[in-house]
Structure 1
Amino acid sequence: MRSTYESATVRLYHLDGGAEGGAANTLFYGPLSEAMTIAAQQSEDVQDGLFIATDNDVVAYVDLIEQ
């Protein structure tokens, strides 16, 4: 992600694996630091489908925590 400062406004969403691509369900919209806390509280199954979007990038949550 290009915008990675803690107070960057992001959208945390879960992309389910449903038919025809599934649906994106927003879990949180606000500072990156809070989004990361909320994402960490989710089950591993949910974490696998979490994405964080800034105004210029999208990254899978599991890719962020592996860095």
Structure 2
Amino acid sequence: MRTVDAEAAVRLYHLDSDSGATTTLLYGSLAQALQQAALEAEAIQEGLFVQTSNDVVAYLDLIGE
């Protein structure tokens, strides 16, 4: 992920692997998105993605899991 500033504007969303549907959980800062993602159940975390204006990265890849 090219953007590493904790205050960078991001979208945190869940991608359902079965249906392909996306659900936005949060529009906010990277710090807020990481905090929200950590509160989600493990099964949900597997489908979480963080999107900036120029990149998308899986939440578990971002935190190194």
TM bucket by the smaller chain?
A: over 0.9
TM-score scaled by length of structure 2: 0.95
**Structure-2 separation of matches of 1:45 and 1:57:** 23
For structure 2, which runs of at least 5 residues remain unmatched after alignment?
none
Equivalent residue letter for 1:55: S
SS in 2 for 1:35: helix
Identity of aligned residues (%): 54
TM-score scaled by length of structure 1: 0.92
Matched residues, number: 65
For structure 1, which runs of at least 5 residues remain unmatched after alignment?
none
SS in 1 for 2:4: coil
SS in 2 for 1:36: helix
Q: Quick check: which has more Rg, 1 or 2?
A: 1
